[in-house]
């Protein structure tokens, strides 16, 4: 069958498996071109199939020579469709890693569950012994608690209602969006899903199972952004969750003291991920930011961010480069005053008629499409894909 993209709003309803392969291989080549670095050799990546998690795994495997275990919640091909992009990312990554002589194990399931924690512990004991690094890169709107209840997060403000332009990728248009204030219960639920509680549960389980090597490190990913985005992000429900995540780093750091371990949060720059384009209003800022940063030659995608994080700021010659709050600031280029001044000057001028000329919204859309295997160079999208052969592939 010939696969055409199906986009609904800011959600991709399908993917192109061969395009996903091209995207994974492209990131691998970028890491190899950057050169090797002395990093961890046994790594657990939670949320390993796309975005920061996948880029972390690629950077560590092909930059530091790490063996990895990746956990992700993805769906394979069935009578309902071809499956998710992350499903194929896992397959192509594993194949490339094994060809390079590295261990690459994929576990597919709910990373919030105690069952998955035990499966991961079993694999670590059998194939890795212990891990030197745990990367926490989970992004989900729902968390199933140990008692079986479901808790859902919301993307809302916590003060005044907020109105602004949002981006509709399906129609390549701006749409007016409104965010209403969250209730106290909604704030608590968002923190439960997206805060640091599950990260801490993972680290406790791994430590109790003696799966953490002496001096093991862990890092989780976050975003703060400039003041102009505070009403929709830092002061919103997602911001409350991220603050909880930041505080949890200190708790985990104390927990790991007995083995000489440490916990950090990497504050990343605004990037095109499946999660970020879904946040109301934020994609308009992102489109403007991409244009400004590309003009200044400081734009980074997920793979460039993760390469720099591990090679320079976590395992580089200076050791871990962090502030007093255990935050590794990978948003340093984004928050440069000149960059923010340029973005702030553009934002009030944005209209549905002129937005394409004010930022790099074409680049934003292309990066989104590439997350799902479309618009990659070197891929023949007019060629039919053998669906039967895809069903034989396993992560």
pLDDT at 178 (0 to 100)? 85
Give buried/exposed letters for 191-213 (b at 16+ CB in 10 A, else e).
bbbbbbbbbbebbeebbebebbb
Q: Is the pLDDT score of 79 beyond 90?
A: no
Query: Binning pLDDT at 50, 70 and 90, where does residue 28 land?
Result: very high
- Cα–Cα dist 340/225, whole Å: 10
Q: Is the pLDDT score of 278 beyond 80?
A: no
pLDDT at 274 (0 to 100)? 79
Q: Can you read off the two tokens belonging to residue 386?
A: 């053998």
Q: Is the pLDDT score of 247 beyond 90?
A: yes
Tell me: is residue 284 an annotated ligand-binding position. no
| Residue in this structure with the two tokens 């104390």, named with its chain if needed | 254
Q: Is the pLDDT score of 243 beyond 80?
A: yes
Give the chain's mean pLDDT: 95
What is the per-residue pLDDT across 140-193, written as a single tens digit (0 to 9) for each?
Answer: 899 999 889 999 999 899 988 888 888 999 999 999 988 889 999 999 999 999
Mean pLDDT calculated for residue range 237-265: 97
Query: Binning pLDDT at 50, 70 and 90, where does residue 10 land?
Result: confident
Strand partners, 68: 43, 104
pLDDT at 222 (0 to 100)? 96
pLDDT at 100 (0 to 100)? 98
Tell me: is residue 263 an annotated ligand-binding position. no
Query: Binning pLDDT at 50, 70 and 90, where does residue 276 land?
Result: confident
3-state class (DSSP) for residue 384: coil
Mark whether 136 is an active-site residue. no
pLDDT at 146 (0 to 100)? 87
- Cα–Cα dist 234/231, whole Å: 7
Tell me: is residue 47 an annotated ligand-binding position. yes
Tell me: is residue 300 an annotated ligand-binding position. no
Given 136, 221, 233, 285, the catalytic residue:
233
Greatest CA separation for the chain: 59
3-state class (DSSP) for residue 149: coil
Mean pLDDT calculated for residue range 333-360: 96
Q: Is the pLDDT score of 380 beyond 80?
A: yes
Instruction: List the chain domain ranges.
Output: 6-140+194-278+298-329+367-381
Query: Binning pLDDT at 50, 70 and 90, where does residue 282 land?
Result: confident
Q: Please count the CA atoms within 13 angstroms of the CA of 145 that sit on its side-chain side.
A: 9
Residue of 255, 268, 250 whose CA lies nearest to 216:
255
* Neighbouring C-beta atoms of residue 354, cutoff 10 Å: 10
Residues 6+ apart with CB under 8 A from 307: 30, 31, 34, 55, 59, 63
Percent of the chain with pLDDT over 90: 87
Residues 6+ apart with CB under 8 A from 53: 45, 46, 47, 70, 72, 135, 137, 138
pLDDT at 310 (0 to 100)? 98
Q: Is the pLDDT score of 377 beyond 80?
A: yes
Instruction: Tell me the CATH architecture of domain 6-140+194-278+298-329+367-381.
Output: 3-Layer(aba) Sandwich (3.40)
């Amino acid at each position: 069958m010939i696969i055409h993209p199906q986009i609904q709003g800011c959600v991709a309803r399908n993917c192109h498996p061969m395009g996903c392969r091209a995207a994974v291989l492209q990131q691998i080549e970028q890491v190899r071109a950057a050169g090797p670095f002395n990093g961890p050799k046994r790594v657990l990546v939670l949320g390993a199939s796309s975005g920061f998690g996948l880029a972390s795994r690629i950077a560590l495997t092909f930059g530091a020579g790490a063996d990895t275990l990746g956990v992700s919640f993805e769906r394979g091909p069935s009578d309902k469709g071809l499956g998710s992009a992350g499903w194929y990312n896992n397959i192509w990554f594993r194949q490339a890693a094994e060809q390079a002589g590295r261990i690459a194990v994929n576990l597919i399931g709910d990373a919030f569950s105690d069952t998955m924690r035990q499966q991961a512990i079993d694999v670590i004991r059998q194939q890795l012994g212990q891990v030197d690094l745990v990367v926490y890169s989970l992004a989900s709107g729902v968390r199933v608690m140990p008692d079986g209840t479901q808790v859902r997060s919301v993307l809302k403000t916590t003060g005044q209602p907020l109105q602004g332009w949002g981006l509709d990728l399906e129609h390549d248009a701006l749409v007016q969006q409104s965010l209403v204030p969250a209730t106290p219960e909604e704030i608590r639920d968002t923190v439960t899903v997206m805060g640091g509680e599950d990260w801490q549960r993972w680290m406790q389980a791994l430590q109790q199972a003696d799966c953490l090597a002496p001096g093991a490190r862990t890092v989780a990913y976050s975003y703060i952004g400039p003041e102009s985005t505070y009403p929709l992000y830092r002061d919103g429900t997602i911001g409350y969750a991220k603050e909880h995540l930041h505080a949890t780093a200190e708790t985990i750091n104390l927990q790991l003291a007995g083995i000489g371990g440490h916990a950090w949060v990497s504050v990343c720059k605004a990037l095109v991920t499946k999660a970020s384009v879904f946040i109301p209003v934020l994609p308009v800022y992102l489109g403007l930011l991409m244009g400004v940063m590309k003009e200044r030659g400081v734009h980074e995608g997920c793979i460039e961010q993760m390469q720099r994080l591990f090679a320079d700021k976590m395992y580089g010659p200076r050791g871990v480069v962090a502030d007093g709050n255990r935050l590794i600031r990978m948003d340093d280029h984004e928050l440069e005053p000149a960059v923010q001044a340029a973005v702030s000057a553009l934002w009030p001028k944005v209209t549905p008629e002129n937005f394409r000329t004010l930022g790099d919204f074409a680049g934003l859309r292309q990066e989104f499409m590439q997350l799902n295997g479309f618009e990659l160079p070197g891929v023949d999208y007019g060629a039919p894909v053998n669906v039967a052969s895809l069903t034989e592939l396993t992560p």
